[in-house]
Amino acid sequence: MKVSFYGHVRQYHNIQREIDANIRKVLESGEYVLGPMLKQFEAELARFSHTKFAIGVGNGTDAIWLALMVLGIGPGDEVITHPNTFFATAEGIWIAGATAVFADCCPKTKCIDPAKIEAAITTKTKAIIPVHLYGQCADMRAIKKIADKHKLRLIEDNAQAIDAKGPDFHIGELSDAATISFIIQKNLGTFGDGGAVITNNAGLDATIRKLRNHGSNQRNVHSFGFNSRLDDLHAGILSAKLKHIHAWSDQRRQWAARYTAGLKGAKNFDLPVELPGYRHVFHLYVIETKKPQQRDPLVKFLVDHGIDAKTHYSTAIHKQAGFPWGKGARVVGSVANAEHNAACCVSLPMFPELTAKEVDCVIAKVMEWDRAQK
């Protein structure tokens, strides 16, 4: 049996009529950029996110540097994040012209460890970017306390955790802004690239709206800006999918529970941890081999047996060749947890349209590998 890593086409077929209807609506409207479908989707996304505003932009990376820029963060400033995230988190900091400061992650959640943040703060520190990695929220209450104490801005990189929740907070509630990616493989993904910023700050909303559109919110009137808009065709696709996201997250959570039950007791890897009270939406279901040298053989074993396993992310950012490419960067103390995560992570197939048979097949193969280890 073959098990693929993504279910994009299955998902399209399941809701084809809704997606096609929205695409047709946009095509027939004659308005494809900053048109009515984008406006509709932004209102739907803000409502879904419990925030006052949502601004559609070109992609999740632009969302990060736009948010930083609007908060006045740039050259000479430091922004704290962790090194076992997707490269774009750091890239957003560098595009804004700031220095990326890497603190270690929590060994359980793999999100930034709040206990490691204060040691990274200097007089230059202006912001923290926690990443809700793999679909589970970082400990925003603890991070917010630190941000308030040191008067720092907070931007949540929420590329991976739409519809996740903390025990007593929503994403976007405790920060200046949260950024979202809609690239196809995300839990809410379009057939291409897209992104958004959600915020409760009216000034931030107004400035990002201008910046994304050549510094303009009125025809022929410009200040400095960029072109980074979410196209109406993508907004239409995302609007159709947004109606299903909660049910899809629930389904992901069910597959995660099935994986966890089936893989319990294995001796050669650790399972993902969902913190009590958190709603983890399992963008990825990531196990970690006990030893780094076990990781590539496990991935190869699965791929050889038709199961498309991947790694997220097998090289911590500060270990990429050529780091930091002349950009500002600092690693604070030991980042051993992040390095262990990078060296040992294996992502198993995870998407709502999986079948029980496929999940059980993955479990059987992973356990077969586990039993074969000395």
- Interacting residues toward ligand PLP by CB under 6 A: 59-61, 85-86, 88-89, 131, 157, 159-160, 181, 183, 193, 195
Between the alpha carbon of residue 156 and those of residues 50, 85, 184, the distances in Å are 15, 13, 20
- What is the 3 state secondary structure string of the chain? CCECCCCHHHHHHHCHHHHHHHHHHHHHHCCCCCCHHHHHHHHHHHHHHCCCEEEEECCHHHHHHHHHHHCCCCCCCEEEECCCCCCHHHHHHHHCCCEEEECCECCCCCCECHHHCHHHCCCCEEEECCECHHHCCCCHHHHHHHHHHCCCEEEEECCCCCCCECCCCECCCCCCEEEEECCCCCCCCCCCCCEEEEECCHHHHHHHHHHCECCCCECCECCCCCECCCCHHHHHHHHHHHCCHHHHHHHHHHHHHHHHHHHCCCCCEECCCCCCCCECCCCCEEEEECCHHHHHHHHHHHHHCCECCECCCCCCHHHCCCCCCCCCEEECCCCHHHHHHHHHEEEECCCCCCCHHHHHHHHHHHHHHHHHCC
Q: How far is the CB of 195 from ligand PLP (least distance, A)?
A: 5
Closer to ligand PLP by CB, 129 or 263: give it.
129
Q: How far is the CB of 21 from ligand PLP (least distance, A)?
A: 25
In this structure, what token pair is assigned to residue 248? Answer: 């899809």
Closer to ligand PLP by CB, 345 or 359: give it.
345
Q: How far is the CB of 92 from ligand PLP (least distance, A)?
A: 7
Q: How far is the CB of 262 from ligand PLP (least distance, A)?
A: 27
Q: How far is the CB of 281 from ligand PLP (least distance, A)?
A: 13
Closer to ligand PLP by CB, 16 or 227: give it.
227
Q: How far is the CB of 259 from ligand PLP (least distance, A)?
A: 21
Task: Report yes or no: 142 and 166 within 8 Å, Cβ to Cβ.
Answer: no
Closer to ligand PLP by CB, 85 or 337: give it.
85
Closer to ligand PLP by CB, 157 or 163: give it.
157
Task: Report yes or no: 168 and 150 within 8 Å, Cβ to Cβ.
Answer: no
Closer to ligand PLP by CB, 59 or 347: give it.
59
Closer to ligand PLP by CB, 63 or 302: give it.
63
Q: How far is the CB of 181 from ligand PLP (least distance, A)?
A: 3
Closer to ligand PLP by CB, 59 or 341: give it.
59
Closer to ligand PLP by CB, 80 or 361: give it.
80
CA–CA separation, 72 vs 70, rounded Å?
A: 5
Q: How far is the CB of 267 from ligand PLP (least distance, A)?
A: 31
Q: How far is the CB of 166 from ligand PLP (least distance, A)?
A: 17
In this structure, what token pair is assigned to residue 145? Answer: 């306390």
User: Among all residues, whose Cβ is closest to ligand PLP?
Assistant: 60
